[in-house]
Structure 1
């Protein structure tokens, strides 16, 4: 086909040619949007396992994502021992005073009524109150002592890695939010880049179609539009890690360039949704190391009862033998543990401020090397990014084929 014939064809079908770069831009944008959504949705597998169906890349790999994120947290950002040493035992006791004393009253009465019901009923009210007051006076000292022991040996009662990983695996939506909210600008860039890259490729498509009129041109270009633009967009998020420049032009991977903003947002998300006081309390009370905490509590409660034996023994000598006395101490400790979850809720506000997880993470993140910093988001893409690129390419090819049908018919 000579030049005049090509120009004549373009003139007669200008409306077809003019749409090519715009449709390519649309392909680029749509493939990016689909790829982004497929990273996060659906949370659970939809279809027939193991092949026919789909689960969001991040939900499908939530444990791997969580393990990688937690490894970064505990290796580079959060030292549990240093964090929990910020809790002041005296201040904790002060915050716990009202619920603690209420729990002491209830536990003392319940234990006495269980083991010495007749004697408890016969005791004058003043004698009952004297016994309760003696125990109440010891309770703050016991709690402060426990707090010091726990804060200086936090690894013995709290498995931080297990707590964080289980919290993120249990709530796949949380794992998605950790990545999606921190990287919102990057995902917007990926979608927008599809428009720009697609438009440029569409101009090349324009020339190729004019020269060849080959029907395969459209799906091939659609395929490569999806493939190349997905690949380029993902690379431009992370590379180059350090700023580079030429004359007046400077460029750097978007994620690295937003280091301060990312650090602030990531610190906020971890503090508000992952390493929360509520999650820590739940892990301490129910996690794999909770038995050690309960052993500490039992020891302190039994020690307190023994310390009050000088007052208690004259009252119970006739009704409580050595064996029953030991049983009474165990029961008191068990009841104290029952009250623990409700009681510790009252220190949540103080502990959140004292631990200061948000600022700690934000400050430490800004000290990471570029490669370490990249590790915050990169695991979300690295292992399965080929799937996203392949999906973009396939969708691009299908849209290109649709374009051929519209052009020829």
Structure 2
């Protein structure tokens, strides 16, 4: 008992003898905890591009550097737990799509016919009787809705042959690395604020312990060791408190749960809005179908249906045209017409984006199903951003804390 009293007396004497020094130590530890945690967050996202001398002497934000992998994980989570490609396309009604496209597509038929025929066979086109030319155009226009319906049904039946969701998402997020940063920053904004603040709180608490130990042993080398431990511990604790415990744990009147898990409904809303507005949009899907790695199959599908419609509906001029321009000339003109249809398709499809957005209902589907995910699956939405390089973020905090501790050794009264 006397030894404890003597120890407390020694501590009190030291604190009274050097009050500014001992007041500064926990404050500096709090600053170390805060700065190292904030810096760890910054290092996750910045810089977007590698800065330094590749491949090792420099830095690139962890999320931008692994944007492809992060995007792949995001797609797997979406398709395994939230919505499938088949479900997205099954919500598009071929009849409704045909009605939406009928106006712009039928208007395009006349323009395409005039342009192709005037380019390849101007004399024939002018010489055709007006009644035949008009009836030919009317027959082709009348076939437009059926062609749109047939193409839509083909796409729905063979969706994986004409559309690769993973390629679309990964390609977009690699091109726009700031977008994948936004996904994590906006859905995890509360968690990242917590990491910074927790460094301040835990750093101060560790600093108090550090101060008490220093009053007893008076060895300057304790300071860099303590700084290392503070930097390490504050980062480690903050990262683990975000996700743990996964399920609510009640201790008396207080309920504990990982911050990210507790905010599941809010995170689901932010994530669903961002993905629906920036990634799984009708415009991006259409562009991927027409320009993605399987675009050749889509073009072949459209060509087949369009050429069949032209052959079937050439009507009154069918016998006259091949004899006049020859089979090869007819084929060239038909190919040119189909090419024009495909070139105009993206512009025409933009007219149905509003309908497609409502029909696919991606926003509400993502939000509702993400809110209902079990804790393990929900954790996978953000955890990959931390898990693989968690050790690096903690190590950075520890190293910075140690450097500050070295600086503390030179404070007046320490030596």
Partners of 2:7 and 2:44 in 1: CA distance: 47
Higher deviation after alignment, 370-379 or 5-14: 5-14
Calculate the TM-score normalised by the size of structure 1: 0.95
Q: Which moved more, 1:3-12 or 1:296-305?
A: 3-12
- What is the deviation of 1:98? 3.2
| 8 A Cα contact 1:230 1:388, kept in partner | yes
CA distance in 2, matches of 1:123, 1:209: 103
Unaligned runs of 5+ in 1: none
Q: How does 1:301-320 map to 2 (within 5 A)?
A: 301-320=306-325
SS in 1 for 2:324: coil
1:3-152 aligned within 5 A: 4=9, 6-152=11-157
Q: Secondary structure at the match of 2:373?
A: coil
Equivalent residue runs for 1:148-297 within 5 Å = 148-297=153-302
CA deviation vs aligned residue, 1:123-181 (integer Å, no higher than 9, x gap): 35554333222211111221122112212322121011111111112211111111111
For residues 276-297 of structure 1, the C-alpha deviation after alignment (integer angstroms, 9 at most, x for no partner) is: 1111011100111111211111
Aligned mates of 2:7, 2:158 — CA distance in 1:
84
Within 5 Å, give how 1:295-374 maps onto structure 2: 295-374=300-379
- Indicate conservation of the 8 Å contact 2:21/2:413, yes or no: no
Q: Secondary structure at the match of 1:103?
A: helix
* Deviation for aligned residue 1:317: 4.6
Taking the aligned partners of 1:67 and 1:160, their CA distance within structure 2 comes to: 10
Call closer, same or farther: CA 1:367–1:3 in 2, change over 3 Å. Answer: closer
Of residues 382, 389, 394, the one that matches 2:394 is 389
Residue-by-residue CA offset, 1:326-357 (whole Å, 9 max, x unaligned)? 33322221221111111111111211121111
Q: Do the aligned partners of 2:132 and 2:316 also contact (CA within 8 Å) in 1? A: no
Deviation of 1:35 (Å): 0.3
Contact 1:85–1:152 (CA under 8 A) maintained in structure 2: no
CA shift, 1:34, in A, is 0.3
Greater Cα offset, 147-156 or 294-303: 147-156
SS in 1 for 2:387: coil
Per-residue displacement from partner, 1:355-380 (whole Å, max 9, x unpaired)?
11111111222332211111111111
Inter-partner Cα distance in structure 2 for 1:131 and 1:289: 33
Aligned-residue offset at 1:5: 5.4
Q: TM-score, normalised by structure 2?
A: 0.94
8 Å contact from structure 1 (residues 267, 358) kept in 2: yes
User: 2-side partners of 1:62 and 1:4: how far apart?
Assistant: 57
Over the aligned positions, Cα root-mean-square deviation in angstroms equals 1.8
Structure 2 alignment gaps of length 5 or more:
1-5
